[in-house]
Structure 1
């Protein structure tokens, strides 16, 4: 197994050579084989062990086992403890998801703090089979049927070509000891049910199941690669980018024979799952949206707007009298000047200082807001009507700020000033308000 692994590393993972590697270590059979193998190869390695505190004395026994091994083999070891139950309860997560999030957050901290190049985990071929079956039972696209990837960013899985039987055989031939996790015997979790009840049946039906499955995975990965390439080519024809937004042209999209497949390719990696809602956006009214994992897909006339959802911010910012510059919620400068310019950009207005009532306020618009647009001879207009007339999308409306004096709108920032505050022949003090 050592020589096969060495060849696999040279042919498929050559970038690991000469790098500083951190090995995730549970104490179980897979991770102990991983450590033993890499300890024999010419790599700089360290071990990282998480005590999740879920199995009492058994968890502490795992930790002691790992510490003794590291000391005996002179391998650098990092250990941490988690209150996994508390974390899961606080963030309303399953224990499995909570443990996964905790350990990988910690692994990335170790990588950054100690200049490791990669994290190695001991996932193997049987794990990939189980992942395939889990995704199959839950419903998935092609990407969910390609098993566990060999590499995700800094996470590398060098044992994926090997089966559980090969790993067990290696421990017998090399007298490798490990710790048995009692939870692996429970069918409480779906992965364990598949491991104990489904995979053995598949292996019994086809003695060459593992080899056949590996071939199937390779074919699926090739198909996924083709789909990815097609999605990139079509993306360039259908999608334009504007700052943090991606604008999907609905007319061009619908001319594609399988436009739903392309939407899936673009959106699934971002966490979108409500596919029927997404597909129906093409025919929906403007303003309809689908949210997922910090993103939203918004229907706006003849396009779909994909953008990150901004974190909530304070609704109202106070600007006291005498303020010359602010940085939140945007950068703005207030300057006393002697005259106005005849022409100036939308990011600045000139106002009669005597018409202002301090403190001023910057806030988002609310239903019922109205102002008197400059240049409209004192005609009152609802802000919502102004937005509609300007054909502003929901996203643009949400990002627009108002500058207010008391209950009166002085300026729809970068859009339109209010007539009531304009400079006249009777003005004695002028303030220039400029967004930087």
Structure 2
């Protein structure tokens, strides 16, 4: 398996022998084998482990196991504990999604701080197959059909050449120990239902279906690359840009072999979903002035084409906050700020505790705008567009235009009524706390 591992790395140009690697290790079979292969290959690596505190004593045992594994390998070990259940509840997302949103920003932080070149995960061919099937059940474009890439930025997946069976065989031959996650046997999760119920049936049709999915992934990704280049070549004929406004010419688009797909590729960049885009295409010969809305843009049917421009926010609706004033009345209520000695344990989205030393008065209170982003508390510094955040927390479209932000020197410190920013949070170095309250 070592030779196949090294061949896969070379063929896909994943990294070089001189690269410093950060291995993400849960203690399960796949990550243990990834660690062993990197050790055998003589690569320089550290190990990162997330304790999501989801399985009681088993989570503690997983952490101890990974620490011992890192010690045996002579590798630096980084461990962080996350309250995944609380984060999932606050965000209104599944624990699986919460774990993902928590771990990847932390891995990237480790990579930068400790100067690793790449982050290695232990995804293998069966994971790739499961991901593709999950995307198909949800309805997907080309990107969903190639599923997991061997390399995506700094994230590298060098086990995608091997199946779960091949990895298990290697582990048995090497007499390696691992930790078993009991949730893998549950059929409560969609991925596990595919793993235990659907894929075994597919294997009766093609025993090598995981390898077939890997080939599909490679070919779809290559096709996507070709299509992107082709689409780019058509922009001069079909798409005209003037500042923030874009015009798409219907007649030029109709001449193409797959006009709807081309339209979808462009309009998805402006926040439109595929079902909307189909309606837009169907209504292309309708009444001039018909409008369609995404979270960030408005599309208007014009003579012979569509005009796409950002949602305009009233520029006059902004307020200046002077530190001494302590209160301001605005269109959505009243905003007050006062110095306090400590945080309250009460969870209230209309209250934010901010590090006064990180703020630069006067602050600005304004409506959020397309392109705005923040680093939401609890996401370890990960940036998120406000438009995406509001979608995730299911704010109705009719109310999105009423959401305000508190801004300090161009940086958003608080998405009012929703979430503070990680860069302005109160920490052990904070000497002065300001409590902001929306009423």
| TM-score band w.r.t. shorter chain | 0.5 to 0.7
**Contact persistence 2:25–2:31 (CA under 8 A):** yes
Task: Give 1:114 deviation, angstroms.
Answer: 2.1
Work out which of the residue numbers 272, 279, 292 in structure 2 matches 1:289: 292
Q: Which has the higher contact order (CA 8 A, sep 6+)?
A: 2
Aligned residue runs from structure 1 range 18-417, under 5 A: 18-244=18-244, 246-268=246-268, 272-273=272-273, 274=275, 275-280=277-282, 282=284, 283=286, 285-286=288-289, 288-292=291-295, 295-299=296-300, 301-302=302-303, 303-305=305-307, 315-317=317-319
Task: Give 1:117 deviation, angstroms.
Answer: 1.7
TM-score, length of structure 1 as denominator length: 0.67
**Contact persistence 1:281–1:289 (CA under 8 A):** no
Distance (Å, rounded) in 2 between the aligned partners of 1:284 and 1:129: 45
Distance (Å, rounded) in 1 between the aligned partners of 2:37 and 2:93: 35
> Which range moved further: 258-267 or 27-36?
258-267
Q: RMSD of the TM alignment (CA)?
A: 3.0
**Contact persistence 2:24–2:49 (CA under 8 A):** yes
SS of residue paired to 1:279 = helix
The 1:171–1:363 alpha-carbon spacing in structure 2 relative to 1, beyond 3 Å, is closer
Per-residue displacement from partner, 1:85-111 (whole Å, max 9, x unpaired)? 111121211111111111111112222
> Which range moved further: 16-25 or 93-102?
16-25
The 1:319–1:138 alpha-carbon spacing in structure 2 relative to 1, beyond 3 Å, is closer
Distance (Å, rounded) in 2 between the aligned partners of 1:299 and 1:118: 44
Gaps of 5+ in 1: 321-361, 365-397, 399-436
**Contact persistence 1:278–1:290 (CA under 8 A):** no
**Larger radius of gyration, structure 1 or 2?**
1
> Which range moved further: 187-196 or 114-123?
114-123
Distance (Å, rounded) in 2 between the aligned partners of 1:236 and 1:96: 43
Distance (Å, rounded) in 2 between the aligned partners of 1:313 and 1:64: 55
**Contact persistence 1:277–1:290 (CA under 8 A):** no
The 1:199–1:112 alpha-carbon spacing in structure 2 relative to 1, beyond 3 Å, is same
The 1:269–1:9 alpha-carbon spacing in structure 2 relative to 1, beyond 3 Å, is farther
Distance (Å, rounded) in 2 between the aligned partners of 1:42 and 1:235: 48
The 1:272–1:75 alpha-carbon spacing in structure 2 relative to 1, beyond 3 Å, is farther
Gaps of 5+ in 2: 323-364, 368-400, 402-439
SS of residue paired to 2:294 = strand
Distance (Å, rounded) in 2 between the aligned partners of 1:189 and 1:312: 44
Aligned length: 322
Task: Give 1:69 deviation, angstroms.
Answer: 1.1
Distance (Å, rounded) in 1 between the aligned partners of 2:137 and 2:252: 34
Task: Give 1:205 deviation, angstroms.
Answer: 2.2
TM-score, length of structure 2 as denominator length: 0.66
